[in-house]
Amino acid sequence: MKTPLEKERQILINTFDKFADDYWKTLAEISRASAVNLEDVITIVFTSPDFVRSPYKLKDGQPVYTTRKVYRKRTPFILQLLTAF
């Protein structure tokens, strides 16, 4: 049986699958788009290996995040390679 945070983690992952080209989101944007409480979004994004923070992008001065799956799928390989080091 899944815990509430595990269910919300899956909601977040599914939400990112729906984003088109703008797949880097702030924590507040993730919360709004998924209808998951901001505190839970913070806990999930910071503790789950399913999410990555952009090493070079900011939105309104805030860090942005996406899922590993979406990152691998939509980020050009050369950028993935450059940010790996």
pLDDT in tens, 56-66: 778 888 999 99
How confident is the model over 8-59, as pLDDT tens digits? 999 999 998 888 678 899 999 999 999 999 999 999 999 999 999 988 778 8
Which domains are assigned to the chain? Answer: 4-83 (1.10.10)
Is residue 84 predicted with pLDDT exceeding 70? Answer: no
HEC profile of the chain: CCCHHHHHHHHHHHHHHHCCCCCCECHHHHHHHHCCCHHHHHHHHHHCCCEEEEEEEEECCEEEEEEHHHHHHHCCHHHHHHHCC
Supply the pTM of this predicted model.
Answer: 0.81
